[in-house]
Amino acid sequence: MKEKETILIIDDETQIQRLLEITLSASGYKIIHAQNGQDGLVAAATNNPSLILLDLGLPDIDGQNLLIKLRDWFKNPIIVLSVRNTEIEIIKALDNGANDYLTKPFRTGELLARIRVVLRANSIIDNDSTLSFGDLCIDLLNHTVKLKNEIVKLTATEFSLLSLLAKNSGRVLTHQYILKEVWGYGYSEHSQYLRVFVAQLRKKIEENPSKPKLIITESGIGYRFGE
Amino acid sequence: MTNFQKIKYSFKSLINSNLGQYIISILIISITAFLCSPLANTNNYHVVSFILLFVVSFLSTFMGIRPVLLASTLSALAWNFFFIPPHLTFHIEKTEDILIFGLFFIIALLNGVLTTRVRRQEKIAIEREKRTNALFQLTKELSKTSGIIEVVDVSQKEIKKNFDVNPIIILQDGNEKLVLPESEKLKLINYETAQWSFSNTEKAGANTEHFATNNYTYFPLFGSKIKSGIIAINNYNKISGDKISFWDTFVVQISNALEREILIEMAQKVRFLDESDRLYKTLFNSISHELRIPVATIMGASDSIINSENSKEVQMALCNEIFTASLRLNRLIENLLNISRLESGYLSIRLDWHDINDLINKVLNELEYELKDYTIKVNIPDEMPLIKIDFGIMEQVLYNLIYNSSQYAPPGSIIQINTLFNNNKFIIEVLDNGPGFKEADLKNVFKKFFRADGSKTGGLGLGLSIVKGFVEAHNGNIIVKNNIEGGVKFALTIPSEIPEIENI
């Protein structure tokens, strides 16, 4: 087994800290705590953790600002854990560089799954030319997609949408971001295009398009590519 | 002013002044006597007496009693002196002329006196009618008002119109203390005098027995049960004679109107307090119950895990209980937050295009644990377009509806979700084949804190009222009915359009 991955928890609620420590240690992670934003910054700099779990309601500094400060230099994934559950707050956190967002109360199973996904996604090397997710295989160089070894015919837009999602697998991409990346700046308000294309893509690559497993909807926020 | 108007005006002012009336009387009688002078040496001097009588009667129609008396005396003397032979003496030769002179004098006097008396009566009658009208107007205007402020406004306006004074109405604060509103005009008010008048229910200030040095006069406004405040006016001396009783009636009318409004307001306050008291008690009772049960479960179960030697299965079962209790607590918090969002008016709807599949999947995923013993059927037509909704809000709507079905329909039941798009509206139906609601309960289903008999576990009775509020925030509506074949059907309809999608 490889070296234990370190997770930094920045949260001032001791009960949440204890719960996270118990669950995450049991899953084989090494845990570091920080009670406030300042300590969090220092701990992140000295330990360079593989992942940060960040609470937004910190006593000394607003979590969103801390997120921006961290993202100046911290390259590893950050997952926000917060009681703030409005779409605006979540989108803001994602725009500020969070890889994922979980609202409290959360299920620990869900948290562990998200942690695994972002850690794995982070280890995918950028110049990999093929991405595989179960039966789905995406060849980024040749612009081909195979499902169970059969070629899936995709339009150019469908392919760029799928490859964008797949390259960021595990990470929530906001509607705005996807629209900007796939269609360009002028289309950021046309969410209906995105919906239609996602529905088309699902019909082509999902086993059961009405219960998607690959392109997962994050309500009011965006999409996440899972497996 | 034209010359004619000037003359008319000066004539009017002459008639209206006392001295002017005397002068006019003398002038007119002299002129008439002069005009009749050709008849002086004839046998027709009796005719002159009739002409003079006519002139006196004419004068009495627009002059005061004294000038008319003067005119009567003057005309009698003039007739005697110039016309009754022997001329230019007051001596009368013939006995019949003495008689006629006497009669003339009496008739002229009577004539003048009676006419002016009739006129005075008429004037009083007109004045009385004016007052009756003014009072009628006041009562009519006051009865149209609603609210204390309107009564005050109408009263002040009517007083100004009828008495030519500047009234200020000052009301009490509920603790028998007058409250001076912030206004320039009110700097003229002497608070002590006003308060004294109010406390002693007696008029005070200028032209009264108390605090007479004031500029204003203060009248208490009191009805049969409560004192509402005072009226202050600046020129009480303008209200004199029989106008005083008119004024008093006015004040009584205003007092009554104010009392009525204050009583209505008090009754409303009491009702409101009752209502909020009742709500508070319901909320408090049910919340403390709803909080205690899951907390008790969590405490008991975790205590047992920590302190007792249990088999692995028992431990798992206890952990399951803890998990269920925490879900219940979380739902309670969610619903309380949602209802306060609705009630506070801070709910803002952010509409965007969404796939109805996503909505239903999301909710069914969230409810996976609660729905594990139910069969779920989802019908979404292939041609279902995107819908324009606030995803988070509609998620709560559907969550509460489906969760509600799982609470009222026994495990093993079928819960069916149908969607439909028709006429720029989409419809979502949630049906179950459980026992359904009692007919009498159907109309209460969406009411806050309503809980039908036979619901499984606790709950505040907020879920469906949140559903209704959120659907209405989308400009939609929701109905509930019992299915003929059993079970309940909720159907919500929300307007939406078909998105424009061209060459993408």
Which residues, in sequence order, are bridge partners of residue A149? none
Q: Region B118-138: what's the mean pLDDT?
A: 86
**Nearest chain A residue (CA) to B498:** A192
Tokens, residue A18: 């204890």
How distant, in Å, are the alpha carbons of A122, A131, B180, B193 from that of A162?
A: 18, 11, 72, 85
Partner residues linked to A10 by β-bridges: A34, A54
CA distance B271 to B484: 41
Cis omega before residue B38 (within 30°)?
no
Residue A139: which CATH number?
Answer: 1.10.10.10
Residues pairing with B302 in the sheet: none
pLDDT at B466: 87
Nearest to B499 among A105, A192, A219 (CB): A192
DSSP, collapsed to helix, strand or coil, labels residue B108 as helix
- Chain B hits for A220, Cβ within 8 Å: 350, 352, 390-392
Q: What is the reported pLDDT for A33?
A: 93
Distance linking the first and last C-alpha atoms of chain B: 83
Do A84 and A36 share a domain, yes or no?
Answer: yes
Interchain CB distance below 8 Å, A192 and B362: no
Contact B355 A198 (CB under 8 A): yes
B358 vs A219: CB contact, 8 Å cut-off? Answer: yes
pLDDT of residue A135: 86
3-state secondary structure of A62: strand
Asked if residue A1 lies in contact with residue A44, where contact means CB atoms within 8 angstroms, the answer is: no
Q: Which helix (H) or strand (E) holds A200?
A: helix A191-205
Quote the CA–CA distance of B178 and B220 in Å, as a whole number: 11
Residue A159 tokens read as 């392919």
Q: Which of A77, A94, A123 is the last residue of a domain?
A: A123
Cβ partners under 8 Å of residue A43, min gap 6: A8, A10, A32, A33, A34, A49
In angstroms, the separation between the Cα of residue B499 and the nearest Cα of chain A is 7
Fold of B164-263: Beta-Lactamase (3.30.450)
Interchain CB distance below 8 Å, B391 and A220: yes
Question: A36 and A142, same structural domain?
Answer: no
Is A88 among the domain residues?
Answer: yes
CB proximity B501 to A under 8 Å: yes
Percent residues over pLDDT 90 in chain B: 13
Beta carbons within 8 Å of B115's beta carbon, 6+ residues apart: B57, B60, B61, B68
Size of interface A-B (CB pairs under 8 A): 53
Name chain B contacts of A191, Cβ cutoff 8 Å: 352-353
Q: Return d(Cα B418, Cα B355) in angstroms, integer.
A: 14
Determine whether the interchain pair A220/B352 forms a contact, defined as Cβ–Cβ distance below 8 Å.
yes
Q: Is the pLDDT of residue B400 over 80?
A: yes
pLDDT at B440: 82
Alpha-carbon span A62 to A55, nearest angstrom: 9
Q: How far is A222 from chain B (nearest CA, A)?
A: 11
The arithmetic mean of pLDDT across residues B72-79, rounded, is: 84
- Condensed to tens digits (0 to 9), the pLDDT of residues A176-224 reads 899 988 888 777 778 888 888 998 899 899 888 878 888 988 877 889 8
Query: What mean pLDDT comes out for the span B98-115?
Result: 82
For residue A201, the SS3 value is helix
**Do B190 and B217 touch, CB atoms closer than 8 A?**
no
A141 and A203 in a single domain? The answer is yes
What gap in Å lies between CA B369 and CA B399, rounded to an integer? 13
Domain-terminating residue out of A123, A156, A191: A123
Residue A1: what pLDDT?
Answer: 42
Minimum-distance CB partner of B504 among A193, A199, A220: A193
Q: Which ranges in B79-205 belong to alpha helices (H)?
A: 95-144, 148-163, 191-200
Q: Is A198's CB within 8 Å of B500's CB?
A: no
Distance CA B454, CA B294 (A): 19
| Most confident listed range (A115-119, B97-101, B491-495) | B491-495
Q: Indicate if A108 and A181 belong to the same structural domain.
A: no
Mutation target to probe the B interface, by most B beta carbons within 10 A, among A203, A208, A219 is: A219
Nearest to A191 by CA among A180, A200, A201: A180
pLDDT bucket at B502, cuts 50 / 70 / 90 = low
Domain count, chain A: 2
Strand segments (E) across A66-129: 78-82, 100-103
Our CA-based measurement puts residue A105 at a distance from the nearest CA of chain B, in whole angstroms, of 8
Q: Would you say domain B348-495 falls under CATH 3.30.565.10?
A: yes
Question: Which CATH number is A84's domain given?
Answer: 3.40.50.2300
Least confident residue range of A183-187, B317-321, B449-453, B482-486: B449-453
Partners of A195 on chain B (C-beta within 8 Å) are 353-355, 386, 499
Considering A123, A153, A168, which residue would you say is the last residue of a domain? A123
Do the Cβ atoms of A219 and B352 come within 8 Å?
no
The DSSP secondary-structure symbol of A187 reads G
A168 and A201 fall within a common domain:
yes
Task: Tell me the CA distances in angstroms from B256 to A80, B14, B90, B357, one per residue in order.
Answer: 66, 45, 67, 65
Residue A53: is its pLDDT beyond 90? Answer: yes
Between CA B277 and CA B272 the distance in angstroms is: 8
In a domain, A190, yes or no: yes
Residue with token string 């980024």: A140
Mean pLDDT of the region B172-187 = 74
In chain A, the N- to C-terminal Cα span, in Å, equals 24
Touching check for B357 and chain A: CB below 8 Å? Answer: yes
For residue B280, is it left (φ>0), alpha (ψ between -120 and 50) or beta? Answer: alpha
Residue B306 contacts A where some CB pair is shorter than 8 Å: no
Would A99 be classed as within a structural domain?
A: yes
Does residue A166 share a domain with residue A104? no
DSSP A13: -
Tens of pLDDT along B246-296?
A: 888 888 888 888 888 888 888 888 887 777 777 777 777 777 777 888 888
Residues A115 and A154 in one domain: no
- Asked if B30 is an interface residue toward chain A (Cβ–Cβ < 8 A), one would say no
A106 and A21 share one domain: yes
CB atoms within 10 A of CB B339: 18
Q: How many CB atoms lie within 10 A of CB A211?
A: 14
| Residue-averaged pLDDT of chain B | 84
User: Stretch A52-58: mean pLDDT, rounded?
Assistant: 92
Range of the domain at A135: 130-225
Lowest model confidence (mean pLDDT) among A45-54, A97-106, B68-77 = B68-77
The string of pLDDT tens digits covering residues B407-450 is: 888 899 999 999 999 888 999 999 999 888 888 888 888 887 77
Question: According to the model, what pLDDT value does residue B123 have?
Answer: 85
Domains B164-263 and B348-495 share a fold: no
Asked if pLDDT for residue A81 goes beyond 50, the answer is yes
B391 touches chain A (CB under 8 A): yes
Residue A45 lies in a domain: yes
CA distance A167 to A161: 10
Does residue B244 come out as left (phi exceeding 0), alpha (psi in the -120 to 50 range) or beta? alpha
Q: Indicate whether A114 and A164 sit together in one domain.
A: no
Written as six digits, the tokens of A222 are 């965006």
Whether the CB of B355 is below 8 Å from some CB of chain A: the reply is yes
Residue ranges per structural domain of chain B: 3-129, 164-263, 348-495
Q: Within 10 A of A64 (CB to CB), how many other CB atoms are there?
A: 18
Handedness of CA A34, A36, A40, A43 (dihedral sign): negative
Are B362 and A219 in contact (CB < 8 Å)?
yes
Which chain A residues have a beta carbon less than 8 Å from that of B352? 175, 191, 220
Assess contact for B217 and B207: CB atoms under 8 A.
yes
- Judgement on whether residues A114 and A50 belong to the same structural domain of the protein: yes
What is the per-residue pLDDT for B11?
Answer: 66
- Residue B98 pLDDT exceeds 90: no
ipTM: 0.77
Q: Which residues of chain A have a Cβ shorter than 8 Å from any chain B Cβ? A: 86-87, 105, 157, 175, 183, 191-193, 195-199, 209-212, 217, 219-220
CA separation (Å) from B368 to B402, B462, B487? 11, 22, 21
Instruction: Give yes or no: residues A208 and A172 share one domain.
Output: yes
Closest CA–CA distance from residue B396 to any residue of chain A (Å):
11
Task: Identify from B358, B362, B418, B419 which residue to disrupt to test chain A contact, counting A C-beta atoms within 10 A and taking the largest count.
Answer: B358
Comparing CB atoms, the residue among A175, A193, A210 nearest residue B380 is A210
Please check the confidence at residue B473 and state whether its pLDDT lies above 70.
yes
Mean pLDDT of B134-150: 85
Judged by DSSP in three states, B233 sits in: strand
B210-221 residue pLDDT tens? 888 888 888 998
CB contact at 8 A, A99 and A78: yes
Q: Inform me whether the C-beta atom of residue B350 falls under 8 Å from chain A C-beta atoms.
A: yes
| Residue partners of A133: CB distance under 8 A and separation at least 6 | A166, A169, A214, A225, A227
Is the domain of A116 the same as that of A144? no
